[in-house]
Amino acid sequence: MRLAVLQGAGDTGLVAVDALRPEWDVQRCANLNELSAALHERTPQVVLFRADEALVPLESLEGLVAGSPLVQWIALVTPEELEDPRVRRLVAQTCTDYQTLPLDAVRLRHTVGHAAGMGRLRARVMEGVTSPSELGLVGASPVMLKLMRGLEKVAAVDAPVLVHGETGTGKELVARAIHARSSRRRGPFVAVNCGALPPTLIHSELFGHERGAFTGAASRRIGRIETARGGTVFLDEIGDLSAELQSHLLRFLEESTIERLGNGDPIRVDARVIAATHVDLEGAVAEGRFREDLYYRLNVLRLDTPPLRERGDDIELLARFFFQRYRSESAPGVRGFSREAIAAMQQHPWPGNVRELLNRVRRALVMSERRLIGAADLGLDRRARPRRQETLERARIAAEREAVLGSLRANRNNVTRAAQQLGVSRVTLYRLLDKHGLRSHGAAEAQ
C-alpha cells in the first residue's frame, strides 16, 4: 500500500513513519508541489501531513484535499496546534483521522491501517461513480454527485444528450466529460455556440457550403458537424436555432445525413450531438419557437447542471480550486481566503454561477494586497453593496417618479392641476420635476 508524507519544518517522529515499511511504500514529500505530484503519479491510499502553517498554507492544503476525494488524510498535530480553530476545522472536516505528536509507532500503524480500510469502504460506496475531479469537474455536493452518476450513464450510450442549466454552470465542461468517457473519446470534440453567430452564417458554420453557394462563398467549406465525424459535436444555446436549422438538425439526428449549402446530396456523418440550453425549451415549444419533435428527440437523455447556489460547500471547494489554478497570477504572499470572504461567498446568490466565481477569484488574486483575500477583494463586501433599506428607498423614488409622470400625463402637463391632484404645492412639484429630471418633459412650461 502506498503512503505519502508531507513533512513539516523540523519534523520529529518520522522514525515512526519509517517503521511502517515495508508493509507501506512510504514517499516523503518536502512541500506541497511534491505532494501534488505524488497524488497524481502514485495515487497513495493514505496521506500523512503536518498541519504546519510554516510549511504550507492550510487553505492550499484544503484545495488539494478537495481534488483527491478517494485519498484518506491523516493530520499530525501537536495539542497546541489543535487550539487553532483553522487547524481544528481542517482536521474535523477533511481528515479521516489525526494523531497527536510525538508519534507512537504502534498507534500510527493502527491508524493508517484503519484509514486504508475506510478508503476501501468509501471506494465501494462510490463504485460506478467517477469522482468529479477525475472529469475535470470540481464538486462533492449531492447535486453534483447525482450529475456525475447521470453523466456516467449517458457516456455509456451513443444517443443525443440535452444539457440544461443556467449560464456558467459547466454545461460545456459536462459535454466534454461525456465525450471523454464515451467510446468516441479518440475522435474530435467540436463546440459551436449557436447563439453567437447570425442566422445567415450559422447555417454554413454547422452544415458547410459548396463553392459559389452564395455570394462570397469563394471556396467549399466543411461544416462543424462534418468536422466532428467520429466524435462529438456540442451545440450550445440550441434554443437560438432558426426553424429552418432546427429541421436540418432533426434530419441529421434521424438519418445521420447532412447537406452542404448549395449541394442537395446527402452526406453521411457519424457524430454524436450534445446540445445545451439555458432556456426552458419546453416553454419555447409551447410558444411555437422550438420544434416539438426535435425537443423530444433531444430530451431522451437529459442532464441538469445545478446552479452554484445549490451546491453548498462546493462553493468553497471551487474557490480554493481556482485559487490554486490561478495562484501564479497573484501578488506574492497571497495565501488564501479570509473567513469573512468564505462567509460572503456562501451568502452570494451567484447569478453567473461557476464562471462568476472563477472571475471573482481571479480578480481578487490580482487585486488583493493582504495575505488573505477578503470579501471586498471578491467584490462581495456587504458594506459596499446596497442594503435592503436603500433598495426600498430606490423603490420609493421610482414610485414617486411614476406618480409625478402619471399625474402630468393625466393633466396634459398642467403643473397647477397636477400639483393639486398630487396634493403638493406647485413649488414642491417643480422641485420633484428637477429631482427626477422631468423638466424636459415639457411639464415646466405648461402652466
Residues that bind ligand ATP (CB under 6 A): 137-139, 165, 167-173, 236, 278, 318, 354-355, 358
Distance of closest approach, residue 108 Cβ to ligand ATP, in angstroms:
35
The residue (of 78 and 167) whose beta carbon lies closer to ligand ATP is 167
Closest approach of Cβ 239 to ligand ATP, in Å?
11
Nearby residues of 284 by Cβ (< 8 Å), 6 or more positions away: 239, 290, 295
Nearer to ligand ATP among residue 59 and residue 81 (C-beta): 59
Strand partners, 47: 4, 73
CB atoms within 10 A of CB 223: 24
Smallest distance from ligand ATP to CB 170, Å:
3
Least Å distance, CB 354 to ligand ATP, is 4
Q: Are 91 and 75 in contact (CB under 8 A)?
A: yes
DSSP one-letter code for 235: E
Q: How far is the CB of 305 from ligand ATP (least distance, A)?
A: 6
Angstrom distances, CA of residue 98 to CA of 49, 61, 88, 102, 392 = 9, 15, 10, 12, 51
The smaller minimum CB distance to ligand ATP, of residues 38 and 318, is found at 318
Distances, alpha carbon 156 to alpha carbons 161, 274, 280, 289, 414, in Å? 12, 14, 26, 32, 73
- Between CA 364 and CA 371, with CA 367 as vertex, the angle to 5 degrees is 80
Please state whether 311 falls in left (phi above 0), alpha (psi between -120 and 50) or beta. Answer: alpha
One-letter amino acid at 143 equals: V
173 or 403: CB nearest ligand ATP: 173
CB of 399 to ligand ATP, least distance (A): 35
34, exposed or middle or buried, with CB in 10 Å at 0-12, 13-18, 19+?
middle
Which is closer to ligand ATP, CB of 260 or CB of 360?
A: 360
Q: Which of 115, 10, 106 is nearest to 55 (CA)?
A: 10
**Three-class SS state of 373:** strand
Nearer to ligand ATP, 46 or 358 (CB): 358
Q: How far apart are CA 413 and CA 406, in angstroms?
A: 10
Cβ distance to ligand ATP smaller for residue 66 or 77? 66
Which residue, 139 or 336, has its beta carbon nearer to ligand ATP? 139
Q: What's the min distance (Å) between Cβ of 153 and ligand ATP?
A: 18
Residue nearest to ligand ATP (CB): 170
> Least distance from C-beta 322 to ligand ATP, angstroms?
8
